[in-house]
A = this chain, B = another copy of it.
Amino acid sequence: MSLLVIGSLALDTIETPFGKAERTLGGSATFIATSASYFTDQVRLVGIVGYDFPKEEIEFLKSKKIDLSGLEISSTKKTFHWHGKYNFDLNTRESLVTELNAFETFDPVISEKFRDSEYVCLGNLHPLLQKKVIDQITNPKLIMCDTMNFWIEGAYDDLLNILKVVNLLVINDSEARELSKEFNLVTAAKKIMSMGPDIVIIKKGEHGALLFVKDMIFSAPAFPLEQVFDPTGAGDTFAGGMMGWLAKTNDLSDKNLKLSVIYGSAMASLAVEKFSLDGIRDLSQENIMKRFNEFKKLTHFDEMSL
């Protein structure tokens, strides 16, 4: 199945306690599309970059068989630039610079060719832009959407509107609490499901992710890494792996949704082991299956009755 990915493409400068990377490839769409490309060669990207976007990064995305016909290159503006600095524990970060540049006027027009996309992955954008994308898709099977505290606080009604039409919301724990006004995550997920989405995934960073579908809850740990190098893009890499798996298998059973969360978690754990996108630039099927199997060892136990 085809997978449409909409979101930002950026050049990030990232500082962590372990080093600094200057103007390295970033943005939600970049991480989502790259991660998904390991699962399907039907990834379609819609986004905008500036005239300064490196040609070799275009070639890199092409090498992943990502369809870039929906990528606009501005001839007058620079690429979205974010400069962030992570604190010692890597759980909190400070935004030092945010220059939207070309991304400021991003207006996602979906080409005729892309409108039949079955799976749709809406990276973190203003809910009105997300809505605009949805309105252009003719016959979607699954629409996933990400959001952030910024929109919960600044565009609450627009967000509620879009929740009515998306099937799957991926959100982190503090955002889930803020959106639902519930502290308990199970209650929060139920409340969010009552707002629209049939499937809610709550990301808990170093504590993994919870998948909620009707009466089913599934818990996936984060992979216990001794060294997390750079958490930038981990959530988008998770979403890309998950949606890539779903688009590949075209199966929305509880059983397969669980698998999608594990594949997403495996991809995210590989991403944070290196700076920026480097952890998922050049993976083999073996790399991914090795991590998948490690997740199995990490979580599975035998049956033995009391």
Q: Which residues of A contact B (CB under 8 A)?
A: 38-39, 88-89, 183-187, 190, 204, 207-208, 210, 216-219, 221, 224-228, 249, 255-256, 258-259, 262-263, 285, 288-289, 292, 296-306
The answer for the CA separation of A263 and B288 in the assembled complex, in Å, is 31
Measured CB to CB, the nearest residue on chain B to A183 is: B89
Measured CB to CB, the nearest residue on chain B to A207 is: B207
Measured CB to CB, the nearest residue on chain B to A286 is: B306
Q: Which residues of B contact A88 (CB under 8 A)?
A: 183
Which of B227, B258, B289 sits near A301, CB closer than 8 Å? B258
The number of times this chain is found in the oligomer is 2
Q: How far is the CB of A284 from chain B (nearest CB, A)?
A: 10
The answer for the CA separation of A88 and B219 in the assembled complex, in Å, is 24
Q: Which residues of B contact A305 (CB under 8 A)?
A: 289
Known: A184-B225, A207-B208, A289-B305. 6 other contacts (CB 8 A): A218-B297, A249-B304, A255-B302, A259-B301, A259-B302, A285-B306
The answer for the CA separation of A187 and B206 in the assembled complex, in Å, is 14
Q: Is the CB of A227 within 8 A of B184?
A: yes
Measured CB to CB, the nearest residue on chain B to A184 is: B226
Q: Is the CB of B299 within 8 A of A299?
A: yes
Q: Which residues of B contact A218 (CB under 8 A)?
A: 297-299, 301
The answer for the CA separation of A255 and B256 in the assembled complex, in Å, is 26
The answer for the CA separation of A300 and B288 in the assembled complex, in Å, is 18
